[in-house]
Structure 1
Amino acid sequence: MNKSHYKTFINRVFLQPHFYILILFVFGVIFLFYEPVIGFVAMLLCVALLIFTLLWGKKGSQLEERTLNKDYDFHSIHKDVLSYFPFPFIMVDAHGWIKWYNPRIEEVIKAKNLVNKNIQNLFLDITADQFPKGKEQVTKTITVDNRHYNVYIDRVYLSQASGSQRTMYGLYFIDNTHNMILKEENLKQKVSIGLIFIDNYEEVMQSVEDVRRPLLIALIDRKLNSWAQQGEGIVKKLEKDQYLMLFYNEHLEKFRQKKFEILDEIRQIHIGNELPVTLSIGIGVNGKNLPQSMEYAKAAIDLALGRGGDQAVIKNVDKYSFYGGKTKEVEKSTRVKARMKAYAFREIIEESDEVLIMGHKNPDVDCLGAAIGVYRAAQLLGKKAYIVLNEPTSAIKTVYDKILESGEYEEKIFLNSIEAIGHTGEKTLVVVVDVHRPSYTECPELLELSKNIVVFDHHRRSAEFIDNAVLTYLEPFISSTCEMIAEILQYIVDKVKLKPIEADILLAGITIDTKNFVFKTGVRTFEAAAFLRRNGADSTRVRMLFQNDMESYQARAAAVKDARIYRKNMAISIAPSDLKNGAVIAAQAADELLNISGIKASFVMCSIKNDVMISARSLGDINVQLIMEKLGGGGHQTVAGAQFSEVPIDEVYDQLIEAIDEYLEEGAERR
């Protein structure tokens, strides 16, 4: 017998009065044989003690039961305590119906007779499905009449007369208004850091007379200082084209409300300069300290410059806000940057064992052409290279088949995602082309497995970005990624030799993205095309790559025919659904609609299985990139798009209309 059992035995036997009465009764029986009188008295005493013990025990149990189970008295005490509880309190059932509350809750909502009303009718932010399922406590933050409350919700079990339990919920309201005011005041007094860059300083200075340059600089400085003083801030010039600005957070809302009017004021400076001056502004807000706010500002200014400049970007911890972005990107005539990027890219390739080239999901000809160009660069440097492609889309099917049928490539050139992951190693280089958003790549897992990543892209930079790349070349003024790669190839080795099929595909990528050398075409675009022509590209073969069948042509014509004119200068249409090359047809129809007199922007939607895609085009007066960003897409000022999954096309149409209206209300349309 262990120790615990021994104690239990002692409590049950030796500490009970019945045990000693039994011993006394035994002695009485014994004395009955020797001393009958004493034995008889002892037995009577045992009987009397036994009766007294039984009667007292029953009465004591009844008294204890009445004391412990006097529900009315207990609940009245409990009710009185909660009535004078210093915090508002409500008791509700599992469905949110109020069963009891203390008077202090009436002070919160300025109402009475709340019993049998639902909690959601009084507080919209509190619903029954938010109640805790177990012992955990749920906390909610609500605002009532400009006062802030923390609501703590606990699960309570109440015993009923039948012996069963009923689940109830207690809600405690703690007034947190004072703390919220102090927090807001603290945020207002924090210092925000702004970095201001002049986007086209060199180009503007070259376009103005020497004697007017000091006056131009003085005007820019004066306008920036005047703007900063409106927010009680200061501006310090760091470089000839860079400024540092400090101001309190409470003035940031003024800048937001006026849409950073300084961008327009600087652009309107004309003292003989042929080009308008544009600014990029990056602001870091709510960092833990000044160094972190500076890091936010640097990330914001990088994003503003990557999106083409002439805009303000605010980074608030992990959220971005965008303002401006009205003007077209300014082409840089010098190719110094391209040469430096090419030299760095060559060194990275030489240090690698293998190169994996990856574009975006649903690749187009520009994406595949750029991948072919990087493939040739790796081959010229003696490295094995592969292109990651899960399935050729209708947009590249013709080009893809030409590559396989050409017989120019002995080894396997294309890998799917699973095969590509198997090729990753310590010295594997991953080159991303025509995309900079990780979630949009053909195989996002490669970005996590590889330490060596290079990014080539011509799209305006978005908030989502591949931030662990060892080399990034992102220039939104360049017409296409194929143009970018064509320039890079010229500096990879001394004598570049491309296969005719490769030159054709690179030229095809440039041709498509520039709409036959009409949009975003600069001097460097024609120089890249000339380089490809010298390496065997043929314009007739390129044109044959773009031929459509009769079904596709009729679908494009139907999309143009059914277009609706919106806001007098925008065309919106829905292309026939579930075609094998629906995305290409939508893009071609959007281009075709711009040929109609008076149309400044076009939007064509198409449904492909469970997805809906939008192709947006513009002549430059309307920034379709800003409109598509409101729908989760992106692109350029004149060419952009967006994609939806599991959303009906009618709902996408309504969202597009709403995004266009919001864009116009913000005054983003270039006047």
Structure 2
Amino acid sequence: MPSKDKLKRFVLILQSLDFRWQLYIIVVSYILIMLFALLRFWQIGVLLLILLILSVVFIILNVDKILSNLNILASDLSKDIKDSQENALFRSPIGIIIYSDNLRVRWLNPSMQSFFAEEDLLGNRLDELNPIFSEILKLSCDEQWQLVSLGECTFKVIHQKEVHAIYMMDVSEEADILQQRQFDRIVFGFLILDDYDEVQDSLDDNQAASIDADLIHRLNAWSNGHGIYIKRIDEERFILLMNKESLNRLEEEKFQYFNELREYFYARNIPLSASIGIAYSNEDDYSVLELSKQAQLNLELALGRGGDQTVIKANDGPARFYGGNTNPSEKRTNVRAKLVFQALQTSIQQSEVILISGHKSPDMDSIGSALGVYKLTQQLNKQAYIILNENKLNKDITQLLSLQNPTKMQDVFISPEEASTLVNASTLLILVDHHRPSLSEAESLLNLCDTVIIDHHRRSEDFPERVVLTYIEPYASSASEMITEFFMNQQNTEESLSKFEATALLAGIIVDTNNFASRTGSRTFDAASYLKSRGANTNDIQRILKEDYASIIQKNQLLEQMEIREDGTAITVAEDNDIYSNIIPSQTADMMLDIIGVEASFVIYRRDKGQVNISARSLGKINVQTIMEKLGGGGHLNNAATQIYDVSVQEAYQQLIEVIEAI
């Protein structure tokens, strides 16, 4: 008789078979039929029972032979499976490498070798072979396919560190298809000719027609050369339609054609330039209508930054800027200032409380323009306050405010914390001399109430949401000049500017123009003349802006550390332990421009324990605004700045160098 172990082994082998359930069903069915037969047809039931007993006895007596045959069957099946597995691995289109603990290739299949036809992989160390393996070995995730490139080919890769295996699949064809889909995406744009109506008005009919024909011919030649559809929709406005591949080529060229176009017409005494807003989507599901809306927003951003530039922005990405390397021309009429003034008066009259905010660490222009707007609210008998952090005032601001009777100023200024208690549905917030939320003393209030912006800095992508009125004029010398024009549009009465307010506004203009040496137009002098007529005291301003001996020494020390680079930039890095106010570094940057060979100057200094500032100046060849924007700041083409947090001055210097070299 066979042992219990053999029977147990027989049962286990039976249970391991793939068709065991079919056997169980047959046996159970047989037993049920037998029981039914015993109850209804006992003779047949007895025969079935005898047959079952004989079958069981046969199995018991021949269990050894059955086990032997099952073992042979299992062995053959296992061998077939193993051969199939090895054949599948060997012939698999997925490349496989098995390597040892010391990174030496122990085994690979032909597919993997075909990916590296010119290299013998077997037996060599992975880190000594193609550089792609060093990249693969660094991959951390062993559960998801990741993309790597080898020459013109693209591979999906999984690196399983635990089993020392690398799997590679060539997906170049799929990657090419996806890339072509990206290239074929629709790109929508608007092109507008800056002040084209004024250019046409300045010419006679024949000249205007000739210039227009020449311009259209050149724009058509440019569009045909880049595969762009261009359609004129009015005198100065065009629609642009292209694919992403054409846009990529234009970005590689940095839209240089429009610099050449501007220079071509400037050489003919025609001040002609173009502003462009371009939009595209990175998503598969998008509409041309949404692209057109985004393109219009991008165009408005380009115009808000002074025009003569291109703004490109996807629906879910940051804006990219090209051009803008010339100072915007001054407008020829005062019409817009009058219209904005009327709209501002309406907004003030419809509000209960007006909060006025300059930027953090305010300068003369910020304080002067804030005091000017405060005067406007008083003329309309409205409750108004200027938001000011009095703990972070420069010495010159403190001296300016001391010119006014303290009793008249005690209810004018409030802290940001006090301002937050006054915000409600009928509160109006007016930002002066800035528009970026991150620079505002009222940053925490921006999304809580309606906002008005009065600024002379080029518009950035960072912009408040609840804006009801925007007055951004990059051509203006200062926000103080823009506010002064509001008063110039009024009749002079006893409620007009006081001597102190006129002095504050004039101080803002003088500081921002570096004593009328830069960014100064005819309207700047008109504003200064008006302020003088209202009693502005230049002697007081001169005393406020006077430097002490220690300041001169500090500026000389900064100049001694100046580095002049071959690209025309000059950089000064202050000592990391020294804390500076904004004034001395800004004045040092201005002084550096007087040195032969310097086209742009940068002064890097520590403003406080956790903040490093950069003051930037330019003579016009180098756009310091775009440089500062890449570091989180902004400003004008020839006057800009930024604040960088939690870095040393040397780290800020390295960031600045990287941006300069990348442009």
Whether the aligned pair in 1 keeps the contact of 2:359 and 2:366 (CA below 8 Å) is yes
Whether the aligned pair in 2 keeps the contact of 1:352 and 1:427 (CA below 8 Å) is yes
Once the two structures are superposed, residues 601-659 of structure 1 have per-residue CA deviations (whole angstroms, 9 ceiling, x without a partner) of 32222233343322222222333223333444332121122333333333433444454
Q: Is residue 254 of structure 2 the alignment partner of residue 259 of structure 1?
A: yes
Give 2:6's aligned residue. Answer: none
Give 2:647's aligned residue. Answer: 647
Once the two structures are superposed, residues 360-414 of structure 1 have per-residue CA deviations (whole angstroms, 9 ceiling, x without a partner) of 2332221222222222222222222222333323265424752786321342522
Q: CA deviation at 1:570?
A: 4.2
Give 1:227's aligned residue. Answer: 222
Matching residue within 436, 443, 451 for 1:453: 451
Distance, in Å, in 2 between the alignment partners of 1:406 and 1:277 is: 51
Q: CA deviation at 1:236?
A: 1.7
Q: CA deviation at 1:586?
A: 0.9
Give 1:190's aligned residue. Answer: 185
Give 2:336's aligned residue. Answer: 337
Distance, in Å, in 2 between the alignment partners of 1:355 and 1:120 is: 67
Give 1:4's aligned residue. Answer: none
Moved more, 508-517 or 338-347: 338-347
Whether the aligned pair in 2 keeps the contact of 1:208 and 1:274 (CA below 8 Å) is no
Whether the aligned pair in 2 keeps the contact of 1:482 and 1:509 (CA below 8 Å) is yes
Distance, in Å, in 2 between the alignment partners of 1:621 and 1:203 is: 26
Matching residue within 231, 234, 243 for 1:239: 234
Give 1:502's aligned residue. Answer: 501
Q: Alignment partner of 2:617: what SS?
A: strand
Q: Alignment partner of 2:191: what SS?
A: strand
Alpha-carbon spacing, 1:289–1:100, altered in 2? closer, same or farther (3 Å): farther
Moved more, 175-184 or 83-92: 83-92
Taking the TM superposition and a 5 Å limit, the aligned residue runs for 1:355-504 are: 355-390=354-389, 391-394=391-394, 397-399=397-399, 401-402=401-402, 406-411=406-411, 413-416=413-416, 418-450=417-449, 452-490=450-488, 495=493, 496-504=495-503
Q: Which amino acid aligns with 1:531?
A: Y
Q: Which amino acid aligns with 2:141?
A: F
Alpha-carbon spacing, 1:413–1:393, altered in 2? closer, same or farther (3 Å): closer
Taking the TM superposition and a 5 Å limit, the aligned residue runs for 1:510-589 are: 510-567=509-566, 569-575=568-574, 578-589=577-588
Alpha-carbon spacing, 1:349–1:75, altered in 2? closer, same or farther (3 Å): farther
Alpha-carbon spacing, 1:108–1:465, altered in 2? closer, same or farther (3 Å): farther
Matching residue within 284, 295, 298 for 2:296: 298
Distance, in Å, in 2 between the alignment partners of 1:246 and 1:301 is: 15
Q: Alignment partner of 1:642: what SS?
A: strand
Distance, in Å, in 2 between the alignment partners of 1:512 and 1:95 is: 67
Q: Which amino acid aligns with 2:343?
A: A
Once the two structures are superposed, residues 299-343 of structure 1 have per-residue CA deviations (whole angstroms, 9 ceiling, x without a partner) of 222222122222222223323332222222100021111111111
Give 2:150's aligned residue. Answer: 144
Q: Which amino acid aligns with 2:249?
A: K
Distance, in Å, in 2 between the alignment partners of 1:128 and 1:567 is: 39
Taking the TM superposition and a 5 Å limit, the aligned residue runs for 1:268-347 are: 268-270=263-265, 274-286=269-281, 288-317=286-315, 318-347=317-346
Q: Which amino acid aligns with 1:484?
A: M
Q: Alignment partner of 1:243: what SS?
A: strand
> Percentage identity across aligned positions?
33
Alpha-carbon spacing, 1:405–1:246, altered in 2? closer, same or farther (3 Å): same
Distance, in Å, in 2 between the alignment partners of 1:532 and 1:114 is: 85
Distance, in Å, in 2 between the alignment partners of 1:405 and 1:345 is: 28
Distance, in Å, in 2 between the alignment partners of 1:523 and 1:652 is: 38
Q: Alignment partner of 2:547: what SS?
A: coil
Give 1:35's aligned residue. Answer: none
Distance, in Å, in 1 between the alignment partners of 2:351 and 2:138 is: 58
Q: Alignment partner of 1:617: what SS?
A: strand
Give 2:45's aligned residue. Answer: none
Give 1:130's aligned residue. Answer: 140
* Alignment: residue pair count: 588
Q: What TM-score does the superposition give when structure 2 sets the normalisation length?
A: 0.78
Give 2:122's aligned residue. Answer: 113
Distance, in Å, in 1 between the alignment partners of 2:166 and 2:396 is: 61
Distance, in Å, in 2 between the alignment partners of 1:95 and 1:427 is: 72
Distance, in Å, in 2 between the alignment partners of 1:251 and 1:319 is: 20
Once the two structures are superposed, residues 228-260 of structure 1 have per-residue CA deviations (whole angstroms, 9 ceiling, x without a partner) of 111232322222111112223322233334332
Distance, in Å, in 1 between the alignment partners of 2:381 and 2:79 is: 91
Q: CA deviation at 1:72?
A: 13
Q: CA deviation at 1:511?
A: 0.7
Q: CA deviation at 1:479?
A: 0.6
Distance, in Å, in 2 between the alignment partners of 1:74 and 1:646 is: 62
Whether the aligned pair in 2 keeps the contact of 1:454 and 1:470 (CA below 8 Å) is yes
Once the two structures are superposed, residues 252-303 of structure 1 have per-residue CA deviations (whole angstroms, 9 ceiling, x without a partner) of 2333343324313432445996442111122223362211221232122222
Q: Which amino acid aligns with 1:638?
A: N
Alpha-carbon spacing, 1:92–1:571, altered in 2? closer, same or farther (3 Å): same
Give 1:11's aligned residue. Answer: none
Moved more, 574-583 or 527-536: 574-583
Q: Alignment partner of 1:557: what SS?
A: helix
Alpha-carbon spacing, 1:502–1:350, altered in 2? closer, same or farther (3 Å): same
Give 2:617's aligned residue. Answer: 617
Q: Alignment partner of 1:319: what SS?
A: coil
Whether the aligned pair in 2 keeps the contact of 1:203 and 1:275 (CA below 8 Å) is no
Once the two structures are superposed, residues 537-585 of structure 1 have per-residue CA deviations (whole angstroms, 9 ceiling, x without a partner) of 2111122221233211210122234433333854333345555544311
Computed over aligned residues only, the root mean square deviation of the Cα atoms, in angstroms, reads: 3.9
Give 1:26's aligned residue. Answer: none
Q: Alignment partner of 1:357: what SS?
A: strand
Alpha-carbon spacing, 1:640–1:553, altered in 2? closer, same or farther (3 Å): same
Q: CA deviation at 1:600?
A: 3.3
Q: Alignment partner of 2:500: what SS?
A: helix
Moved more, 534-543 or 441-450: 441-450
Distance, in Å, in 1 between the alignment partners of 2:112 and 2:405 is: 79
Alpha-carbon spacing, 1:248–1:80, altered in 2? closer, same or farther (3 Å): closer
Q: CA deviation at 1:346?
A: 1.6
Runs of at least 5 residues in structure 1 that lack an aligned partner in the other structure: 1-55, 156-166, 664-671
Whether the aligned pair in 2 keeps the contact of 1:96 and 1:120 (CA below 8 Å) is no
Q: CA deviation at 1:424?
A: 1.9
Distance, in Å, in 2 between the alignment partners of 1:404 and 1:142 is: 68
Runs of at least 5 residues in structure 2 that lack an aligned partner in the other structure: 1-62
Moved more, 171-180 or 586-595: 171-180
Taking the TM superposition and a 5 Å limit, the aligned residue runs for 1:31-180 are: 86-89=93-96, 104-110=111-117, 112-113=121-122, 117=126, 122-126=132-136, 130-131=140-141, 137-151=143-157, 172-180=167-175
Alpha-carbon spacing, 1:380–1:284, altered in 2? closer, same or farther (3 Å): same
Q: CA deviation at 1:123?
A: 4.0
Distance, in Å, in 2 between the alignment partners of 1:242 and 1:659 is: 33
Whether the aligned pair in 2 keeps the contact of 1:100 and 1:115 (CA below 8 Å) is no
Distance, in Å, in 1 between the alignment partners of 2:551 and 2:106 is: 66
Q: Which amino acid aligns with 1:624?
A: V
Give 2:176's aligned residue. Answer: 181
Q: What TM-score does the superposition give when structure 1 sets the normalisation length?
A: 0.77
Distance, in Å, in 2 between the alignment partners of 1:596 and 1:572 is: 12
Whether the aligned pair in 1 keeps the contact of 2:447 and 2:464 (CA below 8 Å) is no
Distance, in Å, in 1 between the alignment partners of 2:428 and 2:116 is: 63
Q: CA deviation at 1:513?
A: 0.5
Moved more, 559-568 or 636-645: 559-568
